[in-house]
Amino acid sequence: MKRINSIALIALAMVFFAPVFQAQEGMWLMHTLEEINEESMQNSGFRLTADDIYDINSASIKDAVIRLNGGSCTAEVISSQGLVLTNHHCSYGAIQGFSSPEHDYLTDGFFALSQDEEMHIDGFEVSFLIRIDDITDRVLANVTSEMSEDERNEAIKAAKGEINTEYSDTDAHGYQYEIKGFYYDNEFYMFIYNTYNDIRLVGAPPESVGKYGGDTDNWMWPRHTGDFSMLRIYADEDNNPAEFAETNVPYSPKRHLNISMEGVNNGDFTMVMGYPGSTDRFLSSWGIEQALSLHNPSVVDVRDLKLRTMKEHMDADLGVRIQYAAKYASTANYWKYYIGQSKGLKALDVQSQKEAIEQRFSNWVASSTELQAEYGEALQLIEDYYSATDATAKADAYALEAGLIGSDITLFAVRFGRTAPGLFSEDADQVASTKARLSGLCDSFFKDYDMSTDRDLFTNLMSKYQADIAPEHLPSFFSVVNKKYKGSIERYASKMYAKSFLVNEDAARAFIENPSEKALNKDLAVSAAMSILETYFGSMESDAQAKFDKGYRLFVKGLREMRPNKAFYPDANSTMRCTYGPVGDYSPADAVQYDFATTSDGILQKMDNSDPEFVVPARLEELLVARDFGQYADENGNLNICFLHGTDITGGNSGSPVMNANGDLIGLAFDGNWEAMSGDIAFESELQRTISVDIRYVLWIVDKFAGATNIIEELDLIYETPEVVVPTEELVD
């Protein structure tokens, strides 16, 4: 461990301006920071420059921030030996994969006390952003306003293909190239990544730390969750990406984050960088109405049944609990999210806010014939789209939630059924490739599969699907159920789980080696799954989708033209963004005030070892009661656990680094607050808060609880106030 002392600079703005405790809206693209955000950030207390964040010629902070598994989460490099920090829930599936009733790392935690104890995670990858190129003009070069949506899409597709080929043909590094559209395809950027897939688990606290509070505390404040885990990136001897091998060595990063030991105070500047997944900040009033009345209630209703079904089996069998832990957590997270989103949309009357924006847009369009010619149809197209899809919105939600991702067998059958035709090719290489892909599907599926649990999921969810959705919107396999099984899903399931080769690992692997088109087409699991898939994608008429695409594209383009002095940021789409704002408390309701930080006292106050969500292990309780906090305590001797700050994040930002004004790590983001769950649609500056775990609690768990001092020694810890060392000999007369 290196002790680095520096004297903190005092930002001039802090002298003249009192702290502002409003959350700051905006998920800003890296290459726009200098033009749009640098001055605002520095006025808010930031002590660096935009080039310190994003520089394609020199090492910058973006080189320490990484995308996990294509954007499911974010992580950051925190040592010169490729040590990575992210959330516990981002590594949850990996931790579960290493766990068994004999070695239950979910319950007990895991920390490697040397690098040779680190465990390779199959199917895990991290990506570093190399740079962003603006290719808008090239993508839209052959697009005209007279084109139909189909013609426009074809022109864009052709241009993307040419650009991708050009980048790939000139590549000398093995980089990955991804073109993303922004502002509803009004702009396009090329994102260039370098991806590593030899990733190893270094450390994870027990669930009693990493998931403390469970579903009860999820999305809530105050919070006392140590939501972190540690990974390491391995590379070949030249520091390049390489498949897993014992000879690989720890990755040497261009940049890693130093760690501040100073903690946070109310009003402090914070910055978050990461990969937010999806927002709908331009969503119309009609879109909100459809979400509130049809989509959200359907998702909540189906997931509620799914959770109850899984929990019954998980409570009865430890092995099933381990197998389904990650699935349950994922299902529960967005079950509660949609409950909170609907509540927030109603409480904040977001629909009226959107109607006001639309009225202002209409008035602006009506102000000139030129604007009417270009934007006059935008809102009508959007309204027409929702009118056309209201009839199928609930059915679409059920097709996905109860059908495709409801039980394990349906999603597995879709993937297997879409891949298996390659087995019947006359091309030997394609056959070999297909066998390998199907074998990989079997590997990942059967390790976390329990037939009894899955059968109940299929039966319960398909029965609900059958009962709740009008017959004309049901997949065709329900007609088979009616004709051959007297309308009984239970009877269909009995035969399917008895006869399908997909519910048995040996039978599935035997099929791969000796495939039969007839057997594939007759398999009941494949038939049901492909029928649901066809319904899900077939429900959207091309005319309705064209109205959506054109309506929103014109609306967003017009909004930006209507307000030329406003800096608009694009909706999140799993590309790297920067957001910033102050540490801040907030008032969620009348006569209620929440402080900006929690301490270890709250862990002991919530402790209830009869409740799995609030278990405190004996060793953790002992350390907390003894208040053995060492260098990780704050100035009052407390161990801070979590803190609030007003930054703009969403799913995908999990694990994002939270940095101070110097760009040093002070925590990692893992959640948002319940009262602002509508934030993906409308940002609420008075209420929106990011919930982050304090880095000092992370290090205390690693050091004092786990005894993994080897990890602490890797880190560069920043002490902004130099220690005063008094030579004792000089004090003696």
The catalytic residues are 89, 227, 654
The encoded tokens of residue 158 equal 């052709």
Closest CA to 88 of 200, 206, 199: 206
Between CA 518 and CA 539 the distance in angstroms is: 28
Residue written as token pair 């540690």? 230
Burial status of residue 268 (CB atoms within 10 A of its CB: 0-12, 13-18, 19 or more) = buried
Helix then strand count (H, E) for the chain reads 29, 24
Between CA 568 and CA 576 the distance in angstroms is: 16
Helix pair angle (378-398, 296-316), 10° resolution:
30
Q: How far is CA 53 from the centre of its chain?
A: 22
What are the backbone angles phi and psi of residue 259, rounded to the nearest 5°? -115, 120
Measure Cα distances from 278 to 187, 282, 464, 479, 572 in Å.
17, 12, 29, 36, 5
Between CA 490 and CA 458 the distance in angstroms is: 9
Measure Cα distances from 164 to 45, 191, 431 in Å.
40, 11, 27
β-partners of residue 535 are none
Give the Cβ contact number of residue 323 at 10 Å: 23
Helix pair angle (350-365, 318-347), 10° resolution:
50
Between CA 325 and CA 95 the distance in angstroms is: 10
Between CA 81 and CA 68 the distance in angstroms is: 18
Between CA 153 and CA 299 the distance in angstroms is: 31
Between CA 247 and CA 253 the distance in angstroms is: 18
Per DSSP bridges, beta strands 259-260 and 716-719 are parallel
Query: What is the identity of the amino acid at 517?
Result: E
What are the backbone angles phi and psi of residue 83, rounded to the nearest 5°? -75, 135
Between CA 50 and CA 562 the distance in angstroms is: 28
Identify the helix (H) or strand (E) that includes residue 388.
helix 378-398
Identify the helix (H) or strand (E) that includes residue 115.
none
Measure Cα distances from 141 to 135, 145, 169, 526 in Å.
10, 12, 21, 43
Contact criterion met (CB below 8 Å) for 453 and 310: yes
Between CA 654 and CA 275 the distance in angstroms is: 8
Q: Following DSSP, what letter does each residue of 589-600 receive, concatenated?
A: ETTEEE-SEEEH
What are the backbone angles phi and psi of residue 643, rounded to the nearest 5°? -145, 160
Helix/strand/coil (H, E, C) string of 475-486? Answer: CCHHHHHHHHCC
What are the backbone angles phi and psi of residue 181, rounded to the nearest 5°? -95, 150
